Amino acid sequence: MRVQPLANIKVLDLTWHIAGPYCTKLLADYGADVLKVEQPGPGDPARAYGPFPHDDPHPERSGTFLHLNTNKRSITVDVKNEAGKLIIRDLVKWADVVVENFSPGVLQHSGLDYESLRKIKPDLVMCSITNFGQTGPYRDWKTTEFILAAMAGLTITTGVEDREPLKSADHLQEYQGGSMGTMALMGAIMRQRRDGVGEYIDVSIHEVASDSADRRATLLTGYAYTGVSAGREPTLAGALPLGVYPCADGYVSLVVSPAARWPRFLEMLGRTDLIQDPEVSKPGFWTAPEAGELVDSLLYPWLLDRTRQQVFEEAQKARIASSGINLTTEVLKNEQLRSRNFFVEADHPEAGRLPYAGPNFRTENGAWRLKSTAPLLGQHNDEVFLGQMGFSRGELVLLRETGAI
C-alpha cells in the first residue's frame, strides 16, 4: 500500500466549530493521525450544525461535522478539569503537532498554552486559529464570519450597485483561515523534522480575510496601482450580459466579453440581423444604457423558453461562457466530477451511507484517502485511555465521575 505523505505525523486536535477542524481535516485526509479532543457531553458544537440527513437533527448526523472530521479519532476530555489537563499534557508527549482555536487566553489560564507545553515537548509545533490573533486591541472581541468579511473590506464589492452589500457563502473566511493554518503547519513540520525545533503559529482569520484570495488580494493590488477603492459596480461594465438570469427551470450564469463575442452572442439568440445594425456597430454602444435594454429584451424571452441544460449546450456551441446554477444534488451527479471519482461514498454508523467530497488536488501516488468517516463522540476513549495511555477500567470510571472525560 502506498504511504500517505503525512502518515508519520501525530496531531492533538483541540479545535471545534469550523476553522480549526478544517485545518486538522486537511492533515488527517493526507495521512496524519489526528486525535480530536471533544468536550464531554455535547462534544464539538459543530455537531449541532446542519444539514442533517432527512432533516432530522442528531449530534452524530450533522453534515458539517461529518465533512470536517473525516479520518480522525475522537476522545472526550474537559480541558478545564484538573485531571483533564493532566491527560492533555500526557498526550502532548505523544503528539508532533497541537492545533487549537479557543479564545485567546483560555489555554494559558489552564496551563496548556505553547510556553507551558513546549516544556513538555521542546520540539512541539502548535497552531492557534482565532478571530483576530493572540495580540492587538481586538484580540478578545467576539465576532462572526460575516462581520470579519465586512471588516476586511470584502463585502463592499458583493451585491448590486446602489443596494446594501451582501455576504459571501457561509463560513468562507473560516475555511480559508483553516487552509492557511494547514499551510503554515506544513512549513513548521518540515523545519521540525529537519532541525528538531518547534514553532508557534498564530493565525488571525481577520488577517486572512484582509488579504483573501477571494477578491481581496486583487482589490488591494488594484488600489495600489490606481488609487481607486473598489465598490459594487453596475451590471453594465463593458460586458453584456453579465450575471445570473432566470430560465425555464432555474437560473444560469452568462458572461459575454470582450466585444469580439457580441456577433456570436447575437447569432446564438437568432438575431444575426443586428450584427451589422448601424446603431449596434457604433463605438461605445455596448457600454451605453441602451445596450442593456436591448440585451434584456432579446435575452429574457430566449432564456425563459429554454432549460439550464439547453442554454448551456447552445452557449457552448456559440463559444459563450455559461453555466446553469446547479442544485447540490445536481453537483453530486456532475459528469466531470464523477468521471474523476471526486465523490467517495462511505458508511457512517449513525448517518448511513453518504457521499464525501474528495481531494482538492491529486498526486501520482494518490495521497488523499478516506480511511474513516467522522468519529462518534468519544468513540476512541477506550483505545486511547486504556490502550495508548495505560489507564485501568477503574481509573476510567473515576475520571468519568469527576467529569474529566
Q: Evaluate if residue 229 carries a pLDDT over 90.
A: no
Return all residues near 150 (Cβ < 8 A) that are at least 6 apart: 165, 167
**Mean per-residue pLDDT, 40-61:** 94
177, burial (CB in 10 Å: exposed 0-12, middle 13-18, buried 19+): buried
Asked whether residue 137 is domain-assigned, the answer is yes
Residues 174, 175, 176, 180, Cα dihedral to 10°: 100
β-partners of residue 321 are 255
Q: How many domains does the chain have?
A: 2
Asked whether residue 225 is domain-assigned, the answer is no
Distance of CA 284 to the CA centre of its chain: 41
* Shared-domain flag, residues 78 and 150: yes
Choice between 278 and 193, residue whose per-residue pLDDT is larger: 193
Cell of 287: 457600454
* Shared-domain flag, residues 177 and 41: yes
Convert the pLDDT of each residue in 141-160 to its tens digit. 999 988 998 898 888 878 77
Q: Which has the closest alpha carbon to 275: 265, 288, 287?
A: 265
Picking from 284, 300, 326, the residue at the C-terminal end of a domain is 326
Asked whether residue 35 is domain-assigned, the answer is yes
* Shared-domain flag, residues 25 and 138: yes
* Shared-domain flag, residues 388 and 285: no
CATH of the domain at 253: 3.30.1540.10
β-partners of residue 74 are 36
127, burial (CB in 10 Å: exposed 0-12, middle 13-18, buried 19+): buried
Q: Which has the closest alpha carbon to 202: 68, 89, 71, 107?
A: 107
Asked whether residue 237 is domain-assigned, the answer is no
Distance CA 44, CA 400 (A): 18
Cell of 171: 463560513
* Shared-domain flag, residues 382 and 315: no
- φ/ψ of 250, rounded to 5, equals 150, -135
Residue whose C-alpha cell reads 440527513 in the numeric block:
53
Distance CA 21, CA 31 (A): 15
Asked whether residue 166 is domain-assigned, the answer is yes
Asked whether residue 331 is domain-assigned, the answer is no
Q: Evaluate if residue 163 carries a pLDDT over 70.
A: yes
Distance CA 125, CA 176 (A): 20
CB 24 within 8 A of CB 15: yes
Average pLDDT for the chain: 91
CB atoms within 10 A of CB 292: 17
* Shared-domain flag, residues 355 and 263: no
CB 145 within 8 A of CB 170: yes
Q: Evaluate if residue 238 carries a pLDDT over 70.
A: no
Picking from 281, 299, 326, the residue at the C-terminal end of a domain is 326
Choice between 40 and 288, residue whose per-residue pLDDT is larger: 40
Asked whether residue 37 is domain-assigned, the answer is yes
CATH of the domain at 60: 3.40.50.10540
Distance CA 245, CA 20 (A): 37
* Shared-domain flag, residues 63 and 187: yes
CB 125 within 8 A of CB 199: yes
Convert the pLDDT of each residue in 255-310 to its tens digit. 887 667 788 988 999 999 888 888 777 777 767 777 788 888 999 999 999 999 99
User: What percent of the chain lies above the pLDDT cut of 70?
Assistant: 95
Convert the pLDDT of each residue in 321-368 to its tens digit. 999 999 988 999 999 999 999 999 999 999 999 999 999 888 888 889
Q: Provide the pairing of β-strand 10-14 with 250-255.
A: unpaired
Q: What is the domain range of residue 264?
A: 242-326
The pLDDT of residue 348: 96
CB 68 within 8 A of CB 18: yes
Q: Strand, helix or coil at 36?
A: strand
Residue whose C-alpha cell reads 493521525 in the numeric block:
33
Picking from 271, 295, 326, the residue at the C-terminal end of a domain is 326
Q: Evaluate if residue 237 carries a pLDDT over 70.
A: no
**Mean per-residue pLDDT, 225-247:** 73
pTM score, whole prediction: 0.90
* Shared-domain flag, residues 133 and 197: yes
Q: Evaluate if residue 236 carries a pLDDT over 50.
A: no
The pLDDT of residue 114: 98
Task: State the pLDDT confidence band at 234, using cuts at 50, 70 and 90.
Answer: low
Q: Give the least confident one: 83-92, 175-184, 216-225.
A: 216-225
* Shared-domain flag, residues 174 and 307: no
Task: State the pLDDT confidence band at 124, using cuts at 50, 70 and 90.
Answer: very high
Distance CA 292, CA 271 (A): 16
* Shared-domain flag, residues 53 and 78: yes
Cell of 303: 432564456
Asked whether residue 222 is domain-assigned, the answer is no
* Shared-domain flag, residues 262 and 365: no
* Shared-domain flag, residues 89 and 64: yes
